[in-house]
Amino acid sequence: MLKKKIIPVFLASVLVISGTAGFSAGIVSENVYASEEVHTQRLSDFADLLDADQEEELETKLNQISEDYDCDIVVDIEESIDGMDPTAYADDFFDYNDYGMGDDKSGILFMLTMSERKWAISTHGEAISIFTDAGQEYITDNIVSYFSDGDYYEGFTKFADLCEEFIIQAQNGEPYDVENLPEETLPFYTPLFLYQISYRACDRFCYCSDHICSDEKRYEDCSYETRCSGLYEIRKPSYK
Find, among 89, 42, 46, 45, the residue nearest to 68 by Cα: 42
In the chain, pLDDT over 90 holds for what percent of residues?
A: 59
Amino acid letter for position 152: Y
In this structure, which long-range contacts are made by residues 183-188, counting pairs with CB atoms below 8 Å and at least 24 apart in sequence? 184/142, 186/141, 186/142, 187/141, 187/142, 187/144, 187/145, 188/145, 188/235
Q: Quick one: pLDDT band at residue 228, thresholds 50, 70, 90? A: very low
CB 25 within 8 A of CB 15: yes
Cβ atoms within 10 Å of 207's Cβ, excluding its own: 19
The rounded percent of the chain whose pLDDT value lies above 70 is: 60
What does the alpha-carbon distance between residue 147 and residue 125 come to, in Å, rounded to a whole number?
A: 28
Least confident of 85-89, 150-154, 173-177, 182-186: 182-186
Residues with Cβ within 8 Å of residue 67, at least 6 apart in sequence = none
Taken in order 146, 148, 152, 156, the sign of the CA dihedral is positive
110 beta partners: 75, 121
Residue of 193 and 60 predicted with greater confidence:
60
Q: Could you give the angle at the alpha carbon of 215 between the alpha carbons of 210 and 220, nearest 5°?
A: 95
pLDDT of the residue at 184: 62
Rounded to an integer, what distance in angstroms lies between the CA atom of residue 131 and that of residue 120?
A: 13
Q: Say what the pLDDT of residue 223 is.
A: 41
* Dihedrals phi, psi of 118, to nearest 5 degrees: -130, 165
C-beta of residue 74 within 8 angstroms of C-beta of residue 110: yes
pLDDT band at 13 (very low <50, low <70, confident <90, very high): very low
Q: How far apart are CA 114 and CA 132, in angstroms?
A: 25
CA separation for the pair 75, 58 (Å, rounded): 9
User: Which DSSP symbol is given to 34?
Assistant: -
**3-state SS class at 25:** helix
> Rounded distance, CA 166 to CA 174, Å?
10
Answer whether residue 128 shows pLDDT above 60. Answer: yes
pLDDT tens, residue by residue, 30-54: 454 443 444 569 999 999 999 999 9
Helices 133-141, 152-171: axis angle to 10 degrees equals 150
Taking Cα atoms as reference points, which of 177, 208, 178 lies closest to residue 193? 208
Residue 116 pLDDT more than 70? yes
